[in-house]
């Protein structure tokens, strides 16, 4: 069962990363350049409870991005159902995950699997 969930989440991450790369019309401020050393991605899921303002404020407060970047991510979460809001090392990712979950946003953490061996 856990293997099936892991595969499903990996497919979602790959899909979201592909969408991120394909969207060239998006303002440059909301795009992050992947350096190749990121090992984990933090994904926020749209829910019916959190307001758009809460999502923006939480992203600004805990991830440390600008309000404009947070608004762009919030709109992506709202339109597409989820969005990768941060990538980086595991320890920081777990810390951000805990903080964002305390703010009552629905999110999860997934490992980025590289095919560049």
For 12-67, how does the pLDDT look when each residue is reduced to its tens digit (9 = 90+)? 766 665 565 455 444 434 444 455 577 899 999 999 899 999 999 999 999 999 99
In this predicted structure, what is the pLDDT of residue 30? Answer: 40
Which distant-in-sequence residues (6+ apart) come within 8 Å of 80 by Cβ?
16, 19, 46
In this predicted structure, what is the pLDDT of residue 17? Answer: 58
For 62-103, how does the pLDDT look when each residue is reduced to its tens digit (9 = 90+)? 999 999 999 999 999 999 999 999 999 989 999 999 999 999
Please, which pLDDT band fits residue 5 given cuts at 50, 70 and 90?
A: confident
Show the DSSP H helices in the chain as ranges. Answer: 2-22, 52-58, 67-80, 90-102
């Amino acid at each position: 069962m856990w293997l099936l969930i892991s595969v499903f989440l990996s497919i979602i991450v790959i899909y979201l990363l592909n969408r991120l790369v394909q969207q060239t019309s998006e303002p440059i401020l909301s795009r992050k350049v992947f350096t190749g050393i990121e090992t984990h991605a933090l994904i926020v899921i749209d829910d019916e409870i959190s307001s758009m303002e809460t999502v923006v404020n939480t992203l600004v407060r805990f991830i440390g991005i600008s309000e404009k970047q947070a608004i762009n991510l919030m709109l992506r979460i709202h339109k597409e159902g989820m969005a990768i809001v941060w990538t980086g090392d595991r320890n920081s990712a777990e810390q951000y995950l805990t903080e964002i979950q305390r703010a009552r946003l629905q999110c999860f953490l997934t490992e980025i699997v590289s095919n560049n061996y």
